[in-house]
Structure 1
Amino acid sequence: MLEAILVVFSSVGLIYASDPDILTDFTILVWQFSNLTGSYFTFKGFRDVGTNNLTGPVKVTKAVAAEFPALNGLGVSMAMLQFPVGGVNPPHTHPRASELLYLVDGSLLVGMVDTTAKLFTQNLTKGDLFVFPKGLLHYQLNADATYKALVVSAFRSANAGTMSVPSTLFTTGIPDDVLAKSFKTNTQAIELLKSGLKST
């Protein structure tokens, strides 16, 4: 019985843990160490973010472990999001990290839903911060009719992960009849939603 209790409590610790702590200053393959320079710790992918005249969907530029290996084991990452006029970052979650959003320029409507299905919304202006707890559904909308918005988001993981609700539900192969029953509609309505996502 005692062993079972210990297993449960040790599992709970794993569930709530963020990225695991590393036992060295940073992670790197042994064969790379002798050639290591400051460039390994430098990410240049944000240099041109915000300098173009963006149209179309929201553009996300990520600095996560996949693009910036120096982040492996450090428990941090960032992204920059460019919102054109009317641009929306659809409802999504980050299953492995909380997100701290900083509005660099423009204005933004943000929303978040907690586990009791309560919606929290806020209109942000330049310089504001908003936090999205790990795993909670959230979205952002640039409702400004004339001006774009620029956002920097920091994450408490080297790979926060993103699950977009529209694409997760309608483009991953979940059977139409399951979706139709879940949304209390018919398969024709589900097919219409799927076709709309294909055109974007």
Structure 2
Amino acid sequence: MELSLLCLPLFLLLASDVVLAGDPDITSDFILPSNATAVDGSFFTFTGLRKVVTAGPGKEFTVTKASLAEFPALNGQSVSLAVLSFPAGSVNAPHTHPRAAELLFLLKGKLEVGVVDTANKLFTQTLQPGDAFVFPKGLVHFQFCNSKNPALAISAFGSSNAGTVSLPKTVFTSGIDVAILAKSFKTDVATVEKIKAGLA
């Protein structure tokens, strides 16, 4: 009996970390930046995505974000958006979002998407316009426009700052010693150097 009473506070302490995961709740309707003096409708409006939805596809995959850095009204709101523009044959390389799940909605074109779970199982799907796909928080995922036509998608995140960790860039351009990378990928230094040069 005494042991179970002693374990209860420990259990509650461990469980509290689960409850506190994610963006912190705010105690006001919204948070004004320190340099703001007045609030009107423009504070709650972000126009930075207009150019993406009206422009044609570029030559490379692009992401245009409406996250906390670009849209200060999102501070404390636990939401953000990104518009993903895929020219034909382009890829959003394998990456993760450490602070949020991603809900992708395909507006036009076709996308092959995939997510890898913690058991190293790959789940893929080919999306058509009007389809949505969820990428769970922190899991490695990708999107590929395996088509002769461009694709356009909107991604919503459950954080104002979901973060993005691009696996190719993080592994090969962050300064990890080439000998460590060669050993880790069971290849030689010359191959690692060639990959690094391609990402530079």
TM-score normalized with structure 1 length: 0.91
**2:14 corresponds to which residue?**
8
Which residue of 158, 171, 174 maps to 1:172?
A: 174
* Equivalent position of 1:100 in the other structure: 103
Match of 1:23 in 2: 27
- Pairwise CA distance, 1:6: 4.5
Pairing partner for 2:131 from 128, 135, 139: 128
Q: 1:154 is matched by which residue type in structure 2?
A: A
State the Cα distance separating 1:169 from its structure 2 match.
Answer: 0.3
Post-superposition shift, 1:121? 0.4
Runs of 4+ residues deviating >4 angstroms: 1-6
Bigger shift: residues 79-88 or 47-56: 47-56
Runs of 5+ unmatched residues, structure 1: none
Shift of 1:186: 1.3
- Paired residue secondary structure (1:35): coil
Tell me the number of residue pairs that the alignment of Structure 1 and Structure 2 aligns.
Answer: 194
Once the 2 structures are TM-superposed, how far is the Cα of residue 29 of structure 1 from its aligned partner? 3.9
How big is each residue's C-alpha offset from its partner over 1:154-185, in whole Å with a ceiling of 9 and x where there is no partner?
00000000000000000000111111111111
8 Å contact kept, 2:33–2:72 = no
1:57 Cα deviation from its structure 2 partner: 1.6
* Two-structure CA RMSD over aligned residues (Å): 1.5
Mark the runs of 5 or more structure 2 residues left unpaired by the alignment: 1-5
> What pairs with 1:22-171 in structure 2 (closer than 5 Å)?
22-29=26-33, 32=36, 34-145=37-148, 147-171=149-173
Deviation readout 1:25-67 (Å, 9 max, x if unpaired):
01114662x5111100000011121332323221111000000
TM-score (norm 2): 0.91
* Aligned match for 1:182, one of 168, 181, 184: 184
2:121 and 2:33 map into 1 onto residues whose CA distance is: 45
